[in-house]
Amino acid sequence: MRVSNVSLSATEKDVQEFFSFSGDIECIEMDSADEWSQIAYVTFKDPRVADTALLLLGASIVDLSVMITPAPDYQIPPHAALIPTMDVEKDTTASSESAVQKAEDVLRKLSSGDEGSAILKSRYVFTGASLVTGAFNKVAKAATDVGSKTKEKVAAVQHQNKEGTGE
Does 26 fall in a domain? Answer: yes
Cβ partners under 8 Å of residue 50, min gap 6? 1, 22, 44, 70
Q: Is residue 65 part of a domain?
A: yes
- The reported pLDDT for the residue numbered 161 is 85
Residue 64 lies in a domain: yes
CATH number of the CATH domain containing 44: 3.30.70.330
Could you report the per-residue pLDDT of 81-112, keeping only the tens digit for each? 566 644 444 443 443 455 555 555 655 655 55
pLDDT tops 70 at residue 33: yes
Q: Containing domain of residue 26, as a range?
A: 2-83
- Is residue 144 included in any domain, yes or no? no
Per-residue pLDDT for 5 more than 60? yes
Structural domain includes residue 69: yes
Which burial class, exposed, middle or buried, applies to 114 when counting CB atoms under 10 A from its CB (0-12, 13-18, 19+)? exposed
Number of domains the chain is built from = 1
Residue 90 lies in a domain: no
| Residue 12 belongs to some domain of the structure | yes
The answer to the question of residue 41 being in a domain is: yes
